[in-house]
Each structure stands twice: as structure tokens, then as C-alpha cells.
Structure 1
Amino acid sequence: MRTCIDLLLALPHIDAPRMKGEVNYLAGRLEQLRLQRSISNEAYLDAGAVQGAIEMIANMVDMGVPQIEVQGQLREQLDRAQRLESKHPGLNWAVESGRAS
């Protein structure tokens, strides 16, 4: 999840379609990991909170919220994702390992 947010923050301009694409990827990947029992239900639920926050930020972008505010919100989620990785080691790797190269 950290990697997902890092990718968004590295963009010169964060647009809603790209963010929504990341939300869809996260939703599908987290569900897949849960069904495969690669992550616990607790990790799934914790990660879902970050995914939901990213979706909310995508809606903010759609509404025309300034990029600086969007970046600030994403940085908050990055901190949250880092804490989540500490609580559930390997979660970021598990999520990102399903991404097409």
C-alpha cells in the first residue's frame, strides 16, 4: 500500500482516473489476498480503511480540490500505510506482488 501511495505522490499532477485505478487495483488485490488467505481478516479490514481514504481523496480530486491539499491527504495515508506495514509485515509486498510489470 505504501508503494501505491508513493506512486501517486510521484506524479507531477494527480488525476482522479489514475487514483480510481489504484483504488480498484487495491480493492481487487486485497480481496484476492483475503480469499487466498495470504492476509488475515484483520489486515484486510485495516488495509480497507486506507483504500477507502484513497477513494475519498480521488473524489476530492474530482471536485477540484487543489493539488497541494490532495498531496497532504495522501501523505497522511502514507503514514497510515507505514504503520499498517509495521502491524502486518509483508502487506505492502503482498499487495504489490500482484501488479503487472
Structure 2
Amino acid sequence: MIPDLVMALSRSEIDVNELKNLKLELSNWLVKGRDSGDISTESYLSAGKIEGGIDVILAMIDHGAPKSEIQLHVDSVKLRIESISQ
């Protein structure tokens, strides 16, 4: 799922439906991981920040924000993903 998120965010044109589906997968993974104790609180919070960042990107696209502004947020979310993937 994490590589899929990075790939979706790395495309020149973001597929909104794909990103929404990946966000839903992330959300479900977080709930299962938290409930089962498979992920730490720190990882849960970090992944929650990624989920929130995706929400911001989707809202920006929906509201027609300039691509340069969207790209700043995309880059930020990708950095967060990289930080928890290591």
C-alpha cells in the first residue's frame, strides 16, 4: 500500500479516485493495526498525518488550487511516507 501511495503521488496527473481508494486502504490499515496492536502509537500518529495530508491534497484538487501549491503538499506527504517507511 505504501509504495502504491508514493506511485500515485508521483504521477504528473493525480488520479483522484485512485488516491481516495488508497486513503481508504490506509485508514482501514490504521484501524486494524491500532486495534490489533501491530503498529506503535508513533507509527499510528505518523500515518494519520499522511492520511490528513492526502485529504488536503484532495481538497486542493477539488477546489482548483494551482498545481505548484498542490505539488508542495504532495512533496510534504511523500517525505512523511519516506520517514515511516525506513
TM-score normalised by structure 2 residue count:
0.78
Contact 1:14–1:67 (CA<8 Å) still a contact in 2?
no
Q: How far apart in 1 are the matches of 2:4 and 2:22?
A: 7
Contact 1:8–1:14 (CA<8 Å) still a contact in 2?
yes
TM-score normalised by structure 1 residue count:
0.69
Shift of 1:20: 1.7
Matched, 1:32 2:24: no
Gaps of 5+ in 2: none
Shift of 1:63: 0.7
* Higher normalized contact order (CA 8 Å, seq sep 6+, divided by chain length): 1
Contact 1:57–1:70 (CA<8 Å) still a contact in 2?
yes
Q: Percent identity?
A: 29
Contact 1:2–1:78 (CA<8 Å) still a contact in 2?
no
Q: How far apart in 1 are the matches of 2:10 and 2:84?
A: 21
Aligned residue in 2 for 1:54: 54
Q: How far apart in 2 are the matches of 1:66 and 1:2?
A: 26
